[in-house]
Amino acid sequence: MRSRHQITVPGPEVKTTGGVVRGITTHGVHTWRGVPYAAPPVEELRFRAPQPVVPWEGVRDGSRYGPVPVQERIGEFIGAGKETPMGEDCLTLNVTAPTTVSDEPRPVMVWFYGGAFVVGASSAPTYRGYDFARRGDVVYVSVNYRLGALGYLDFSAYGTPERPIESNLGLRDQIAALEWVRDNIAAFGGDPDQVTIFGESAGAISVTTLMATPSAHGLFHRAIAESSAPGMVFGQRRARAWAAGFVTALGADDDPLAGLTGATPRQLLGAAQVLRDHLGDQPGTIPTAPVVDGDLLPESPLDAFEGGRAADVPLIIGTNDTEGRLFELPRMRLDVLVSEERAHTMFALTQPELRDQVLAAYEDQPFRKDLGGDYMFWYPSVRIMQAHRGPVWAYRYDLTTPVLNLMGVRATHGMELYPVFGLADSSAGKWLTALGGRRSLRAMQERVQADWIRFAREGAPASHWPQYDPETRLTKILDRTDRIESDPRRERRLAWEGFRGYD
């Protein structure tokens, strides 16, 4: 028998800039799904910056999620399952709000999903966000943005005055969604002056990149970055070389513009796969990522933070204990350094003088491959922790389970999603704790959600979590029993000091 929270009935109608949308009431919340925040980026708008939403007549049905961005179907935990509608007309978002009436506008939490900028969807069951609305009394928003070649390869060099192409399309989508939140969220009971952006992996890269994007400043007021890889933002020279490689893989060298605008989504996905398969000569990079284009994004996020030019909003930022081990598993695509050969190549292409110093810091580790996770996620996040001008709270997520230990990955990339989104008793959570650990995961869920919600409401997590500063480097270690450590993994940090990575 279903509980009263699981019963779905028609919900309230809300007027937005596009028109009226009717939501549903389910799981104890009101939710409006598949709400357009920009015009469909199709046909003449493919590879163009998002345009204003096209108004509709009558009442729009908000009971169904919009199509997910074009991507490979890898499952519904974070992306598109076999039955999920998919298409280029994907610029929609979802709003979830408490059913109770409030005399005051509620804080807003805007989620950007992860997936290396090639997979992900706001409709994934993982990201429903019901707990935030019910428990936190906040308005929760999850956003679709363009992925892969359609969102994160820089084809601007192939545009013409008659048929321009803009760069950083996925980033522009996220800004358009935040502008929609600014203009519309009050109608859903949210406070446009109290917006927290948060995300994991590529979503966290989005958070730290938005903090470095001048045109996004003022659209959000707090930020949470879960396992960001801030260095995965590259200059135009490298980005345009990847774009040229993609055009060749597409078979469009003779007329790149016609090839790009006329290709089917399946052809674009195929060319992207060819490009990824030939990146072995640049280990530790991802071609589908934001680009320093001198326009929307004038400088790399790390340079913006270290130069004091990033948005100085309160920030929670952290990584997981063994970030890189997830990518040792079969079928994982992200190019983290999971072998010493690739590490040697990466240093040769960046800063060879630091190679021996960094590698020496991992000699006594049981898994020397943890260097890859530290290179991509941990050390660049530390650079942001120590440079950010606004208040910072740092964490490391260490909670593991017997299943994860048996797999050899421990508290690896993405594991904090389980407590953040209250997944301890989901089918995935039950599998993760099949050999034990569910009680600890439930307790972690209570603590993490309380911190994230309090941060969204008050601009600071719980009082027992001290701020980070470059002198003490106090960091909260999230484990069965949380603790505060000063400068955790100091030896590793010192070994990486001065490392800048790829341009």
- Note whether 257 and 116 are within 8 A (CB): no
5 as an active site residue: the answer is no
Q: Which of 88, 226, 299, 323 is catalytic?
A: 323
463 as an active site residue: the answer is no
Q: How many Å apart are CA 284 and CA 361, to the nearest integer? A: 19
Residue 367 token pair: 């898994």
| Residue that has been written with the tokens 């545009």 in this structure | 159
Q: How many Å apart are CA 396 and CA 488, to the nearest integer? A: 9
Q: How many Å apart are CA 125 and CA 116, to the nearest integer? A: 18
Q: How many Å apart are CA 475 and CA 207, to the nearest integer? A: 20
Beta-strand pair 106-112/139-143 = parallel
Q: Which of 201, 227, 228, 381 is catalytic?
A: 201
Q: How many Å apart are CA 297 and CA 198, to the nearest integer? A: 19
- C-alpha R_g of the chain: 22
464 as an active site residue: the answer is no
- Specify the 3-state DSSP secondary structure of 110: strand
| 3-class SS string, 310-334 | CCCCCEEEEEECEHHHHHHCCCCCC
| Residues in Cβ contact with 292 at an 8 Å cutoff, skipping those fewer than 6 apart | 233, 234, 235, 236, 298, 299, 300
Q: How many Å apart are CA 214 and CA 142, to the nearest integer? A: 22
Identify residue 461 by its one-letter amino acid code: P
Q: How many Å apart are CA 268 and CA 487, to the nearest integer? A: 45
Active-site residues, by number, are: 201, 323, 413
